[in-house]
Every structure is written in C-alpha cells, then in structure tokens.
Amino acid sequence: MDKALFIDFANELGIKYLEHENLSKHTSFKIGGPAEIFAKPSSIEQTAKIIDFCRENNIDILPLGKGSNVLISDKGIDGVVMHFGSEFGKITLLDDETVYCEAGTGLAALCNFALKNELTGLEFAYGIPGSVGGAVFMNAGAYGGEIKDVIIYADHIDKNGKTGRFTGEELSLSYRHSAYSDKEYFITGAAFRLQKGDKAEIRAKMDELLGKRFDKQPMDKPSAGSTFKRPEGAFAAALIDQCGLKGYRVGGAEVSTKHAGFVVNIGDATCSDVLKLMDDVKEKVKEETGYVLEPEVEILGE
Ligand SMILES: Cc1cc2nc3c(=O)[nH]c(=O)nc-3n(C[C@H](O)[C@H](O)[C@H](O)COP(=O)(O)OP(=O)(O)OC[C@H]3O[C@@H](n4cnc5c(N)ncnc54)[C@H](O)[C@@H]3O)c2cc1C
C-alpha cells in the first residue's frame, strides 16, 4: 500500500495510527508480526472515512478487537488493521434495562457497567477477554449463556461504507457464527437487553464464573482460549486429552497441561509453532478417535 498517502489522509482527519506496529502487543497469544498501519478510529465517522479511503485505494482492512480469538501470521498483516479499542468504548444506558455500547468496549467493562446498574444477564461473559465487536462477530458464549441470549441489535458499516443494523434473525447467531462471519462488515456497536436484578447476586455469579475459569483454564499463560471448536457429539479438550497430548510441544507452543483445549505460548512461540502443533493435534485426534477438529481460533495473514 502507499503508506504516505494513508498517513496524509489520517493526519488531515486527526485519525490516530501507528506504523509497522507489532501485533503481538495486541493479541492475547502474544503472537503476530507487524501491521503496515494500525489505525485507531475513535468514532463512527472516522471508521467510515477509513473504510472509504481503503476501498478507493484498494487497501485491505482487518478489524481487530482485543485480539483474543486470533492467531496472526509471523509475517504480519498487509494494509490496515482497524483497531476497535478503548477509544471506541462508550457505554450508555438507553433505558432501565437496555445497554448500548461501542464495539471496542471490553466485555469486562460491559459486565461491570451492568453490575453497577443492577442489571443481570451478562454474567456469563465476565472473564471472556474480548471486545463487544469480537463477541458479536463470533457469538461468544460460556457457562450456558451466549451473546444471542441478550443482544437486541448490532450496528455496522459495510465494505461500501454504508451504515446498517441487524436485529434478531438477521444476526444469524449460532455456535461461534454470526451474519458478520463472512467479514463484509465492521461492527460499530450493539444493544443488549438485560433485566433488573440483585446486585449482590450478580456480583456473586460473576465471581463464581471467574473462579471456575481460574480453576480450570491456564489463565496465567498467553493463549487464544479454546483452540478448536466443539465437534458434534464430543468435546475437543476431552479428545485431545484422550490422545495423551497434554503437554505436547512444538517450539514455544504447548497443549496446556491444565486444559487440553487450550494451546498456550510458553515462551517465544511463533505462529508457525502453533500451526504445526495444531496440525499434529488434528492428525492424532483423527487417527485415534475419528473426529475431525476445526479451529475456533481465527488464523489471519499469510
Ligand atoms: C483465556 C481466554 C478465554 C476465552 N474464553 C472464551 C469463552 O469462554 N467463550 C468464548 O466465546 N470465547 C472465549 N475466548 C475467545 C475470545 O475471547 C472471544 O472469542 C472474544 O469474543 C473475541 O473478541 P475479541 O475482541 O478479542 O476479537 P478479536 O480476536 O480481536 O477478533 C476476532 C474476530 O472478530 C473480528 N472482529 C473483531 N472486532 C470486530 C468488529 N468491530 N467488527 C467486525 N469484526 C470484528 C476480527 O476481525 C476477527 O475475525 C477466550 C479467549 C481467551 C484468551
């Protein structure tokens, strides 16, 4: 891409950006090469301008939230990585039981906002280290709850710069899937319907679920959460464990000894290490159990 052109454009509009930004700083795996441009829009207007500019100049754009469900190539990402971060994280109470938040809002911030306003319904999401945009994108869920249960609508801008909104069925939410999965849209915000609840009970539920995570998951090591999706009729972690793969390593990547469903970065793991380890795990699981594992973590870049 013509970086100088982007830089002139961004400076003129006051859009914050970084050049050659190492994406390992922006992923929970702590893996990923540089982004040619790492743009940090702070409003829908800036987001729309970046989309228009990139379309007109044939530049690829990759939306990124908290980077907690991605495995980014060691070579990095060409073009623009559009980061929906804290600059894009406003939360508003629309009425007594409806919360609207911008896409860069962290799920922890959203859950704490709900708690403060004595609203129940989002406790399941406490401890999922993603942004609202990333959570809607893949219908994040845990402990019997999912985004589908609480979302009313999501707002977006499409690749042609047109703003829009998906509600209910249009969102097409199912297990780790949404209408946004085809990557044609940039999610800018979402509204959630919650219910009035008891603050102490909400707090207790959040603490209980977070405690379960600390008990069962390798929260002390960089990862991208569950590496593989749940195959029909089985659990990926149980299959991997059954094949004796806990602790299996390739370079700095390891099948967690605490939870076989997680691949963790135990040192300087590269994307290639993780990909090789995932291939080995898939092969062994298929050979020994017949199940074919599909990645849950999104592999991005070449
Ligand atoms: C320790 C750990 C535990 C986890 N536990 C869970 C769990 O219990 N349940 C669960 O569902 N997940 C879990 N995850 C995975 C992850 O946190 C969730 O998938 C989360 O919703 C991803 O959000 P994110 O902002 O990090 O998305 P990212 O990783 O930044 O992006 C994921 C995908 O969403 C797209 N995207 C992000 N933001 C936007 C946007 N604004 N517009 C359009 N596309 C966008 C990206 O392009 C990418 O394709 C866990 C991860 C970790 C590290």
Question: Is 174 marked active-site?
Answer: no
DSSP β-bridge partners for residue 35: 21, 77
Q: How far apart are CA 85 and CA 82, in angstroms?
A: 9
User: CA 196, CA 119: separation in Å to the nearest integer?
Assistant: 5
pLDDT at 11: 97
Q: Is 40 in the pocket of ligand 1 (CB under 6 A)?
A: no
Q: Do domains 87-202 and 218-300 have the same CATH topology?
A: no
| Ligand 1 within 6 A of CB of 180 | yes
Could you confirm whether 12 is annotated as catalytic?
Answer: no
90/239 Cα distance (integer angstroms): 41
Amino acid at residue number 91 = I
**Cβ neighbourhood burial of 52 (10 Å; 0-12, 13-18, 19+):** middle
Catalytic residue, chosen from 123, 146, 254, 296, is 296
The mean pLDDT of 237-254, rounded to a whole number, is 97
Whether the predicted pLDDT of 67 surpasses 90: yes
Interval between CA 135 and ligand 1 midpoint (Å)? 5
Please give the single-letter amino acid code of residue 70.
V
Assess whether the C-beta atom of 137 lies below 6 angstroms from ligand 1: yes
Yes or no: say if 192 and 151 are a contact pair by the CB < 8 Å rule: yes
CATH of domain 3-83: 3.30.43.10
- 67 CA distance to ligand 1 centroid (A)? 6
Which CATH number, 3.40.50.300, 3.60.70.12, 3.10.20.740, 3.90.78.10, labels domain 218-300? Answer: 3.90.78.10
The mean pLDDT of 87-106, rounded to a whole number, is: 96
Instruction: Specify the pLDDT at position 258.
Output: 96
CA 24 to chain centre: 14
CATH of span 87-202 = 3.30.465.10
Give ∠ CA 60-82-9 in degrees, rounded to 5. Answer: 75
pLDDT confidence band for 214 (50 / 70 / 90): very high
DSSP state of 208: H
How confident is residue 1, by pLDDT bands cut at 50, 70 and 90?
Answer: confident
Tell me if residue 118 is catalytic: no
From 28, 36, 176, 178, active-site residue? 176
- Mutation to probe ligand 1, out of 64, 88, 296 (largest number of atoms < 8 A from CB): 64
Q: Tell me: the pLDDT tens digits for 122-138?
A: 999 999 999 999 999 99
pLDDT averaged over every residue in the chain: 96
CB 207 within 8 Å of CB 240 = no
Domain boundaries, given as residue ranges, for the chain: 3-83, 87-202, 218-300
| pTM for the structure as a whole | 0.95
